[in-house]
Structure 1
Amino acid sequence: MNQSIFGLYWADTGKNLLKEFDGEPLSKSGMGLVRHANMPAWLRKLLGMLLTVKALPIHSKTMKELIEVGIGYQSLEQFTDCVNHLNEVREGILKKMEEEHIDLLLGPVMPFPSIEESVTNLFAMASIYTFIWNALDMPAGVVRFGKEGGKLIDQMDTQNDNFLEMAKNAVPASIGLPINVQVIGKPFQEELVLRLLCELEDCYNKQARVVPKLSNGASNGITTS
């Protein structure tokens, strides 16, 4: 899935991306994307090979997949297969939502909490959690709905991947920072997405606490905040 999405954005080996960034002020994560786009294909292949060597401290399957994106397609057939795959994914999601009578999806914005600015350029590709919906042409929005407490850091499974281990080590610095949620809707349902975003924002800002009562007057233990 990642390969199909990133593959479309990098089908021209990043030329259009560089054109869009030309003359624009860049954040550190943006600089990482530009460096990636400027990296020659032979160097990406070499780095991808090195990232598979478990004896090296840079070993990372995740990073290998990302670094090799943008090498470019060798044929129109490869590009067409990529487009068809994304269309199939989109239709599959919409069909499932219809079958289950689901109007909106609620999901994370990033695979981990906020990280230190000094390493954001290394994690630019983690934005897949948000721009996947752009690629699938489905409206989505993000809103704050909590704070990082740091209580579950030890439970983060890095899968023996140095890239994910680096993200885990950066999490303690994010304690107290906002945690956002993402709302995704069906095509042409932007107003429904915005409505839920507003409801969630209002709920969070008011620090609402709702405890529904059962018929006998007792609490059912359900709370939202």
Structure 2
Amino acid sequence: MTANTVTEQLTAAGRAIEHDSFSIIDAEVGPHAYSSNQWPVVRRMIHANADFDFNGLTDFHPQATDAALAAILGGASRIVADVEMICVGLSASRLAHFGLATHQFISDDDVIAQARAEDTTRAVQAMRKAHRLGLLDGAIVGIGNAPTALIEVVRLIRDEGARPALVVGMPVGFVSAAESKNLMAELTEVPWIVIRGRKGGSTLVVAAIHALLGLAEARQREAA
């Protein structure tokens, strides 16, 4: 069976360490109810934080992985993030292979000015800017830092007809983090992946997207 090449570590030593880590996780994780497409996402998240709690805390819309693969392989998608850390953390070569660009607006002058004028957060205004620019529709939206960004994405979906291909909603924190993810998981209009509760973070969004890119490369090879 041919292995992935684009979405793997670049050296044999790096690949061996990563594969050994995955084998340890598989051996120690215990039972889980994730599908064959969902488990690689959860496993990579566990790998990113050495935290087995993500077995159980991670929740998937039924169409989440299929929607992600369609978006990645369709050639017309993009990644919109709440913070720069996600964009920096994603592998440039893996994104380039699929023609994916990243976008984030958290530090734009107009976003900061509008947040001050409306007494909202920069994260809210950044999501609104992405929507105004037409970037949310068909995008993979990654939220790892700001619960207010995820709450705004939910509002944009419900009230303004935004239609991301997938929302990876994993903001971390103590104020509205769990609640924002519960709101996202109530939606049926758009597929989502969320972490229930307070845990999350940009690292986990990056891990989840990298796992989805790996699944996409495997699907590419099957179709070749």
TM-score, reference length from structure 2: 0.23
Higher RCO (CA-CA < 8 Å; seq separation 6+): 2
Q: Which protein has the larger Cα radius of gyration, Structure 1 or Structure 2? A: 1
TM-score, reference length from structure 1: 0.23
